[in-house]
A and B are shown apart, each in its own frame.
Chain A
């Protein structure tokens, strides 16, 4: 027999699956092309919903009061369903983000040989070439000569497209395939001393 709580539970499970599917579709289509709009709208949407829920609960205090035992009866049932929803959504989100992890993959390796480019960061510059080919798999081998830095690549529109830490004693690989020709800028994204904000390096992609 279908009880109200079974209904509520199935509704929340469906909601979790639906929300997760929407999440995957949106991320798949927008993360590569317009990450800033995607992330900001995702945040604003969920934040606005949260504020609405909180306001709704505030408004409820204007209505006749309800006994706490009564609230517990309904509230605990709703909480269990909400618990399932959040847990399922988060677990599913974890699974669905795994293919998007920016680590060197076998799939990428099958795309052909990569150009390996050493990058050395030091206070307050990057030692690296100033020109790269278009549509070529490049693996930046990033390290540092002094303190921790961060190798952040911005495209000509000022969007942050890739980054990794530059650490003394360690090398971090960062794989990038530039799809657009033009001028790119590397900026340091880990505080490295008082010249931190001035630590940048320009390079071009494509053309001659």
Chain B
């Protein structure tokens, strides 16, 4: 029996998430461009305005990409297990209410405490107290929406694959013969990002709620004091995990999307499962690398844990997901459509961003790189050059599957050259700046910051031209939708491990 993916409700929910996420990220890219132009000294904006834009850009971009990843992964899992659409819409509404709160506090209240704010800055700023309150409430609404999604997906995965033991693939790894003899099958590859996002998202989300409540109490009663190091740990515990989870969730796009593009299958293997177990742990322990500069205040052992865990993160990512993806492509019949190109190039962004991250996560190097432009260098590489490309790849694969038009070679080449050429120049600006010690989060930078920013701004403009072309190409593909063509992915085998009542036809 095949599950029909003529699931119009599920598709609508995914569209809601993807459209809002992509619109938000497009707006935030323009905000980012404005800041880079100001650093290049081509336009002049007040520092107050610069830090307001920075707050908006940081929060907006992370949320935009999280929303895209949530919508995509939710849709992929709904093909296999039952997930409630109204609940998914409810969590989307909470997130959007939170986004509105953040926008109100920044635009009308001039809140400029940044997205990864450190206590007690939100209370000692140049903005009114109400702006801090609205910002905190907005962030908590976003977190609530995110946690509802995590609850939903985790609950569904656990129910479908036989509790935590089944969902983790425990018996599949340790008792493979008995497992196979019983006619059982492990969960599909995309169930692992769902499980890890659900578990780690809930654990870190609860940490964030704890911090949020403490800060709200402090907002109501200024006599309440919070330990700044405790607050800093919770801030990074949450923010790091959330940023990290985006890419781990989007790995599901690789498993499904790249299989489709290469006309091959991505299987759950034992090594694959063990890799995801280790990611489950490392996502929670990596954040200590944000606290290398608190060497005396923070217990020393945590600095070592931070470096070791950051280093070992590279093992499951490169040896399993990336290697597996390369094996899918190797001597396959891949048609390099725009969707396939975006999806594949996203992998490069993930790995290259990871290399930048590993260098920064080395304690001796971090001394020269901490809070320089190297930090935005690495996370822009994997959020822009990885995550956003995964999302675009996914969207284009869907459009291409249903459209009677196809993208011409010339257009494909043009979009590729502009987007990637521009992106490389834009990102190199951050890396060069970081290596030269130019601090991040500076409205006006010391030399050679402005010169590098000019180079990077040109890169960003070229990249945005490429993305604009891609947008119009997407519209063109969409205008030629054929009613009798199914939206990919259409045919899917039901997992043997699924209980009978969950083998639903969600049409």
Contact = CB atoms under 8 A, between A and B. Distances in A.
Interface of A: 27, 31, 35-37, 39-40, 42-43, 46-47, 50-51, 53-54, 57-58, 60-61, 63-66, 68, 71-72, 75, 79, 82-83, 86-87, 90-91, 93-94, 97-98, 100-103, 123, 146-148, 150, 152, 154, 158-165, 167-173, 187-197
Contacts of A197: 47, 439, 441-445
Interface in B420-458: 431-432, 435-437, 439, 441-447
A201 to B, nearest CB: 14
Contacts of B324: 79
A43 B435 CA distance: 10
Contact of B294 (A54, A83, A167, A168): A167
6 contacts: A39-B359, A43-B356, A66-B330, A90-B315, A94-B308, A150-B370
Q: Which 10 A-B pairs have the closest CB atoms?
A: A100-B364, A160-B437, A170-B297, A197-B442, A83-B319, A40-B435, A189-B371, A66-B331, A90-B311, A36-B435
The contact size tier of chain B is 35 or more
A159 B448 CA distance: 11
Given A60-B331, A68-B264, A90-B314, A171 B364 contact: no
Contact of B362 (A71, A72, A93): A93
Given A60-B329, A194-B48, A36 B436 contact: yes
B121 A60 contact: no
A45 B118 CA distance: 35
B295 A164 contact: yes
A148 B291 CA distance: 12
A195 B352 contact: no
A150 B355 CA distance: 25
Nearest to A166: B293
A122 B254 CA distance: 47
B333 A65 contact: yes
A146 B293 contact: no
Contact of B371 (A40, A97, A150, A170): A150
Contacts of B307: 94, 97
B351 interface: yes
Nearest to B323: A79
A58 B347 CA distance: 12
B312 A71 contact: no
A192 B432 CA distance: 24
A103 B355 contact: no
B120 interface: yes
B364 A168 contact: no
Nearest to A48: B352
B157 to A, nearest CB: 26
B311 A147 contact: no
Contacts of A195: 47
Contacts of B445: 197
Contact of A148 (B232, B329, B352): B232
A97 B443 CA distance: 34
B295 A103 contact: yes
Contact of A101 (B296, B364, B370): B364
B214 interface: no
A176 B282 CA distance: 33
